[in-house]
Every structure is written in structure tokens, then in C-alpha cells.
Amino acid sequence: MHCHLNFKAFSNDYDEVIKRAADAGVTTIINVGTKIDSSQKAVELAQKYDNLYAIVGVHPHHADKVELGSDWLSQIERLAKQPKVVAIGEIGLDNYRYQSNGITDPKAQQELFEAQIMLAHKLKLPLQIHNRHAGKQILEILTHHKNELLNPPGMFHCFAGNIDILQSALRMGFYIGFDGNITYPGLAPGEDTSLPNLVKATPLDRIVIETDSPYLTPTPHRGSRNEPQYAILVGKAIAQIKAVKLNQVDNQTTENVRTLFNL
Ligand SMILES: [Zn+2]
Ligand SMILES: [Zn+2]
């Protein structure tokens, strides 16, 4: 289950947050890096707690080479070789115009993405893909690298897009992560397919439950900091959308995570 307890939002109380998640029945927590320092922190947390794992990588937001430093790839490689690192991520492309930083240089994003696909290939780790308004382009790059992908190749985290992109990702063998935003009404800016419709179109044996905490807090806690314990609300929403029992969602998505990340 994808979250960022390695981020500043949790620097004062991650111990309690991890305990609350365990009390709520969340068995496995995967902290995901978005640059060098948060990847390092994710690795440290995985070493400290039995049920925590780490994913390391550089997010397309941080594709600025000057900020990253010239040895970023060897630093990620060093971290990726640590115990309990289960994938390379968040990697991908982001074409959304954020108020704070606009769009990061598309060429730098693509270079970073491809370098990390090659690293994952070298280390035999699956990918965790971040996609925002770049699904078609990401699929093109993945197709170009199809001989360097594992089976299963990885997952799209916090999925959004349309049915075509979803079906192509499924055909390539990817798992699909859904987060608390599936409980939000209406469409996100720039999207044309509702998240519940995408959930409906994804077979349960390919779904992974995520939180993306501290972000994307599910209803009714929307507006406050998201915690891994709320993963259960994402599971409930999926059960409702698919009209199946919650424990079926629970069991299947837990098995999916084990298969995907080799736990
Ligand atoms: Zn992301
Ligand atoms: Zn995330």
C-alpha cells in the first residue's frame, strides 16, 4: 500500500501513525520516495519496522538535474540494493500545470523516467508509475522498453485517465492502484472518465489499494491529513463500486501486492 510516511508531514508522529494503521488492519505499508532524501528515509523506516517496505526513485517533479546532482542515479541504485526495497518509483511523467512549479521540463522528465526503467531492469525490480495527464506518452515509452520489463512489470499508482489507457496498461500486465480520490464526487480537473468507472473496468485481481498519504484523504476525512489507516475506506469504496464483499477485496488486493512486489 502506497504512502509517504517518509515525508515531513509525518516527521513528528510516524510511530503512532504506523500503530494506528496496524490497529485498523493494515498489514503492509510501502513508503515511496520521490527524490534522494525521501527514498533514503523510506529505506530507514523499512529497516525499523517489520511490516514496512520501501520503493525508491525520483518523481518527475524533481527531474531538475541541477537540484538532483550529477550522481543521482548511482545514489538511487545504492538505495535500491538495500533490503526490503521492492520497486523503483515514483517514476513517470507529469504534464499537469501545478500552481507551485508549473510543468517540469518534459525532456528532463523523460530522460529520468527512461534511466530509472533501465535501472529497474538491471536490478530486476518492478516499476511504480506516476502518471498525470501523460498516459499515452508513458505507454509509448513502456512499449519501447518492453524487453526490459519484468512479468508482472509493475503498477500504475493512483490511476487516472481513460478506458483505453487502462486497457493498454492491463494488457502490458500492469497492476492498477486506486486511492482515496475514488470517493470524491465528479471529475478531477482535465479528466474525462470518472474514477469509479475505471475501478469498474479493472479486474479485482489487478487492483492495488493505496492511500498516497499524506495526500488524497478519502471521504469523510477529506481536508485533513491522510493516514494509512484510511486504506480501509478505499477498500470499502472498491467493494461498493464492484458490488462484492469487503473481505473479498481485502484478500484479493493483499494477494496482488504480494505477487507484484514479491513479498
Ligand atoms: Zn504520484
Ligand atoms: Zn505518492
Query: Of 45, 18, 259, which Cα lies nearest the Cα of 152?
Result: 259
pLDDT at residue 190, rounded to an integer: 87
Query: Which chain residues have CB less than 5 Å from ligand 2, an ion?
Result: 212
Question: Could you tell me the pTM of the whole model?
Answer: 0.95
Q: Omega of the bond prior to 83 within 30 degrees of 0, cis?
A: no
Centre of ligand 2 from the C-alpha of residue 140, in Å: 22
Q: What is the pLDDT of residues 226-245, one digit of tens each?
A: 999 999 999 999 999 999 99
What is the pLDDT at residue 227?
95
> pLDDT by residue (tens digit) across 90-103?
999 999 887 777 78
**Over 80: is that where the pLDDT of 66 sits?**
no
Question: Distance from the CA of 87 to the center of ligand 1, in angstroms?
Answer: 14
State pLDDT tens for residues 28-40.
Answer: 999 999 999 999 9
67 Cα–ligand 2 center, Å: 20
Q: What are the backbone dihedrals phi and psi of residue 218, each rounded to the nearest 5 degrees, phi first?
A: -70, 155
Ligand with smallest separation from the Cα of 180: 2
Q: What is the pLDDT of residue 1?
A: 72
Q: Domains in the chain and their CATH numbers?
A: 2-261 (3.20.20.140)
Q: Count CB neighbours of 257 within 10 A.
A: 24
Distance 3 CA to ligand 2 centre (A): 6
Dump pLDDT digits (tens) for 182-230: 999 999 988 999 999 999 999 999 999 999 999 999 999 999 999 999 9
Distance between Cα 212 and ligand 2 center (Å): 5
